[in-house]
């Protein structure tokens, strides 16, 4: 399970994004520990190819569908001790799509580097991202301290955090992982060659898949139970703490693993 931590050093590729960025500073004072806010916003056309990737460090990520082909992003930077302005939001674009990241002081590498080392410098600045994602666009959300929510999307969704829950809903396929928190995923159409992983250490995993789905399902828990709504053709070992079997005619490989938590595979309504 320690391999989960390696996922959060994500690949960040770059070029300059031609978009409009707005910055608005809140008026709250730091006196007496009052929280100060600074809002950043961005709009741009969905890329013809590639995906939209968000890299945060300290803060939540929430995604919902856009009404058209424009990506809309708002970042609420807020802190009690430090200046929210010390955290920069970088937007880069290349053949992989559009990448947006929160860069903290002394990050050691800009957003355009292939390393994800965006710094923190003991800053208490949180950056909460709210995103509207155009239909069909692949979406990847990554943070360290914060939950990830992506609801009613229609492209592939991946979500990775360390301290926080992952709650994703898509009409396509997806993946999600955390260390401290639960994982919930509502999935739709999956390709036969998909390899989908859902992982946590401390938390439950709930997967909801449509009626008539075909998949190879495997995984396990150390301290928890396993339940599925689907009839399973056992391929390897089944229960009480691990499972390996086929739903329907098989297809995509779906794995779910936790240490301290239960696993449920349910039919979506």
Identify any residues that bridge with 127 across adjacent strands, giving them in sequence order.
77
Q: Which of 154-163, 186-195, 230-239 has the lowest mean pLDDT?
A: 230-239
Q: Is the Cα torsion angle 143, 152, 24, 30 positive or negative in sign? A: negative
Average pLDDT over residues 257-265: 98
The two tokens of residue 168 are 């994703």
pLDDT band at 220 (very low <50, low <70, confident <90, very high): very high
Share of the chain above pLDDT 70, in %: 83
User: Residue 4, by phi and psi: left (phi above 0), alpha (psi -120 to 50) or beta?
Assistant: alpha
pLDDT band at 250 (very low <50, low <70, confident <90, very high): very high
3-state class (DSSP) for residue 201: coil
Q: What is the pLDDT of residues 234-244, one digit of tens each?
A: 987 777 899 99
Q: Highest mean pLDDT range out of 16-30, 206-220, 228-242?
A: 206-220
3-state class (DSSP) for residue 8: helix
Q: What is the pLDDT of residues 96-133, one digit of tens each?
A: 999 999 998 876 555 654 444 455 557 899 999 999 99
Alpha carbons 76 and 63: distance in angstroms, whole number? 14
Q: What is the pLDDT of residues 43-52, one digit of tens each?
A: 999 998 899 9
Would you state the pLDDT for residue 71? Answer: 98
3-state class (DSSP) for residue 51: strand
The answer on pLDDT for 193 being more than 70 is yes
Query: Within 13 Å of residue 132, how many CA atoms lie on the same side as its CB?
Result: 13
Q: What is the pLDDT of residues 55-80, one digit of tens each?
A: 999 999 999 999 999 999 999 999 99
Rounded to two decimals, the pTM is 0.86
3-state class (DSSP) for residue 18: coil
Average pLDDT over residues 24-37: 60
């Amino acid at each position: 399970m320690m391999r989960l931590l390696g996922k959060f050093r994500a690949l960040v590729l770059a070029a300059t994004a031609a978009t409009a960025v707005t910055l608005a500073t809140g008026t709250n004072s730091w006196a007496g520990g009052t929280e100060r806010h600074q809002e950043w916003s961005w709009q741009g056309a969905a890329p013809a190819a590639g995906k939209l990737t968000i890299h945060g460090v300290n803060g939540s990520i929430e995604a919902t569908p856009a009404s058209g082909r424009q990506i809309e992003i708002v970042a609420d930077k807020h802190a009690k001790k430090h200046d929210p302005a010390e955290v920069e939001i970088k937007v880069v674009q290349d053949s992989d799509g559009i990448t947006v990241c929160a860069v903290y002081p002394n990050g050691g590498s800009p957003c355009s580097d292939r390393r994800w080392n965006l710094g923190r410098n003991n800053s208490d600045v949180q950056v909460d991202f709210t995103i509207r994602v155009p239909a069909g666009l692949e979406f990847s959300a990554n943070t360290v301290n914060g939950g990830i929510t992506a609801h009613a999307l229609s492209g592939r969704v991946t979500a990775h955090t360390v301290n926080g829950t992952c709650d994703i809903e898509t009409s396509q396929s997806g993946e999600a992982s955390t260390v401290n928190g639960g994982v919930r995923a509502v999935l739709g159409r999956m390709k036969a060659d998909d390899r989908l992983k859902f992982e946590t250490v401390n938390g439950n995993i709930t997967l909801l898949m449509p009626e008539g789905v075909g998949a190879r399902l495997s995984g396990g828990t150390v301290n928890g139970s396993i339940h599925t709504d689907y009839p399973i053709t056992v391929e390897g070992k089944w229960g009480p703490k691990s499972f390996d079997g086929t739903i329907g005619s098989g297809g995509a490989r779906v794995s779910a693993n936790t240490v301290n938590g239960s696993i449920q595979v349910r039919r979506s309504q």
